Amino acid sequence: MPDETLVANPLLAPSPLPHGLPHFALIRDEHYREAFDRGMAEHLAEVDSIAGDPAPPTFENTLVALERVGQTLSRTSLAFFGTSSSLATDAVQAIEEEYAPRLTAHADAVRLDPRLYARIRAVHDDEAAMAALDPESRRLVERHLTEMTVAGAGLDESAKDRLRELNGRLAGLGTQFEKRLLADSNDLAVLVDDVAALDGLTAGEISAAAAAAAEHGHDGAWLLTLVLPTGHPHLASLTDRDLRRRLHEAQSSRGNRDNANDTKALVLETVRLRAERARLLGYDTHAAAALADSTARTPERVMDLLGRLAPAAARNIEAERALLEEEAGHPVEAHDWAFWAERVRASRYAVDLAAMRPYFEAERVLRDGIFHAAGLLYGLTFHERDDLEGYHPDVRVFEVHDADGTPFGLYLLDLHTRDTKKGGAWMNSLVHQNTLLGRTSAVVCNNLNVPNPGPGEPTLLTYDETRTLFHEFGHAIHGLLARVTYPHFAGTRVFRDFVEYPSQVNEMWMLWPEVLRSYAVHHETGEPMPQELVDRLVAAQSFGEGFATGEYLAAALLDQAWHAIDVEEAAHVTDVGAFEQSALAAVGLANPLVPPRYRSTYFAHTFSYAYDAQYYAYIWSEVLDADTVAWFRENGGLTRANGDRYRRHVVGIGGAADPLESYREFRGADADIRHLLERRGLG
């Protein structure tokens, strides 16, 4: 029986609102269920008729046809997943739990369809027809083919059975890894029976430790619970050296105690099965398979980058060690590093971030900082549209106009924290631009978790919140400016090792003198921010980068090393610790003072969180970021000419072109790692 409330389900047709903004005022939770159900059924039927088309496969009847279908499903997914973290009510979470696995199964049914795969391959293998396509269309064929190949669509039935087995077993191993790691972390939490040993911690941290102890049945004691990375934050402040040693040893031994929670066997089996799966899919190693879908493209290029950064990090670690030992008056060990680094920071690079806050009034940061910079660079203007409704009354809606006045899309801002919002900050697309379906504009949304000010008080952002807003707005600009033909390439649908790059670049405008002067004025006195505050901050930024870069690179290298071995090599690895040691030594990062940010036995990103062979992505995009910042500096900074060039080759192209080729057109050269080294003081 059709439910009356669903008769006018607004998700079942394109929204009539400006720029296709979802009609949130009319959307009820139950509309999502119906629209997902109908959307998946409709999409499957559409895909089935493309796959079963008796006509010989062509670009038009296969690829373009695929891009045109599934509109109800994509409209619904964008509206739902674009808001589900901002309005995570029980009802929304229940829909998410129910539909996430069904949507995954749906996506698998499409990308593993052997008929579809055969058609796409036939289009791809027709060299003359491919040569006649425009570059974006050619890329569309290649991307679809690679994505389906990596998923296993090209396998025969028995190979597909083995693939399903491997995927199932690997998923189970990932879950086991996470479970054992959690259990071992809990077992290893450090119990302290004398509060004097906690000297250096804040009152809040001490009472949290007392509460944790009570919760675990140790009334009257203190329990230091562990964190995921090797370095525990308390190591920077605990004055008791012996306690620091205990805490560091607990952190480092997780998953490596030959007990029921040991993870070494899971690591070895995971690595073996991933290598086997890669071979099944036609790749030498798991890293090669994982990087087929990346900007880097091959494990060799990732290793080349990491290998070139490693010596600079190792040199700086030595220089930092000398400073720390001078301050300490004795040789430092791994558990001393953060403590003495903090002392050196306080004595030589003190920065008063709290003193900056009165200059970061949210509305001014937004209008006179972030929008102002986007105006100078890209010619964009922003007009608040009070007549348009977001998904919550807190959400503000701005219409974006291009330099010639053309309305260009909508920018939604959901700045403040609330009970139904998940933590963190992020950007979502609610509507994707693409000319194939006649969508001329995009709708994007930024979320932050800034606490609400008291009644009548202005919202003053912290230094970090201000930087986060510039960062997230960089993602928003990326989503807004993309101009593509096919939905597959819309907005920020780019590779994982590329997606953070434009947002990191946008952070540069926060302290750019012209922008800072425009927005950073004291909210009461109207005085500009003292230059001295900014100078101290800049001076402090590169201290500690030897350690930070070294521990990150060590982890990224381990992640690559474990996945750069083939089936035969994987069969011979039996000692996790020895493998780890030799992989680190090979690049000069086996320094016991600076252990990897994650050791293999607790490297959840790579053995459980699906970052396998991709943990390098952070520094890969930062190399592009630093090189781009250098380009802006060399070419006069914040000008329309620079913005237009960056837009034309980088932020305006979505996923429609090869990112590194476009980068080369923008820069006139490949990104030079020198700029990242300089930024981090590693030159």
Interface with Zn ion (CB under 5 A): 500, 503
- Residue 361 DSSP SS3: strand
In this structure, the strands spanning 442-450 and 407-416 are parallel
Query: Is residue 472 annotated as a catalytic residue, yes or no?
Result: yes
> Rounded to an integer, what distance in angstroms lies between the CA atom of residue 331 and that of residue 650?
48
CB of 511 to Zn ion, least distance (A): 18
CB of 596 to Zn ion, least distance (A): 23
CB atoms within 10 A of CB 187: 14
> Rounded to an integer, what distance in angstroms lies between the CA atom of residue 615 and that of residue 620?
10
By the 8 A CB rule, do 385 and 399 touch?
yes
- % helix, strand, coil for the chain, step of 5: 60, 5, 35
CB of 500 to Zn ion, least distance (A): 5
Query: Would you say 361 or 500 has its CB closer to Zn ion?
Result: 500
- Full DSSP string of 435-494: TTTTB--EEEEEEEEEPPPPTT---BPPHHHHHHHHHHHHHHHHHHH---SSGGG-TT-S
> Rounded to an integer, what distance in angstroms lies between the CA atom of residue 340 and that of residue 326?
10
Query: Would you say 345 or 496 has its CB closer to Zn ion?
Result: 496
CB of 2 to Zn ion, least distance (A): 42
Query: Would you say 34 or 500 has its CB closer to Zn ion?
Result: 500
Amino acid (one-letter) located at 106: H
CB atoms within 10 A of CB 531: 10
Instruction: Give the H/E segment covering residue 44.
Output: helix 29-51
Which 8-state DSSP code applies to residue 670? P
Query: Would you say 370 or 593 has its CB closer to Zn ion?
Result: 370
CB of 513 to Zn ion, least distance (A): 25
By the 8 A CB rule, do 402 and 408 touch?
yes
- Residue 83 DSSP SS3: coil
> Rounded to an integer, what distance in angstroms lies between the CA atom of residue 452 and that of residue 467?
18
Query: Would you say 316 or 503 has its CB closer to Zn ion?
Result: 503
By the 8 A CB rule, do 414 and 395 touch?
yes
> Rounded to an integer, what distance in angstroms lies between the CA atom of residue 163 and that of residue 155?
9
Query: Would you say 500 or 580 has its CB closer to Zn ion?
Result: 500
> Which residue's C-beta sits nearest to Zn ion?
503
- Cβ partners under 8 Å of residue 198, min gap 6: 192, 205, 206, 209, 222, 238, 240, 243
CB of 289 to Zn ion, least distance (A): 25
Query: Would you say 475 or 675 has its CB closer to Zn ion?
Result: 475
Catalytic choice (472, 500, 580, 622): 472
CB of 478 to Zn ion, least distance (A): 10
Catalytic residue numbers read: 472
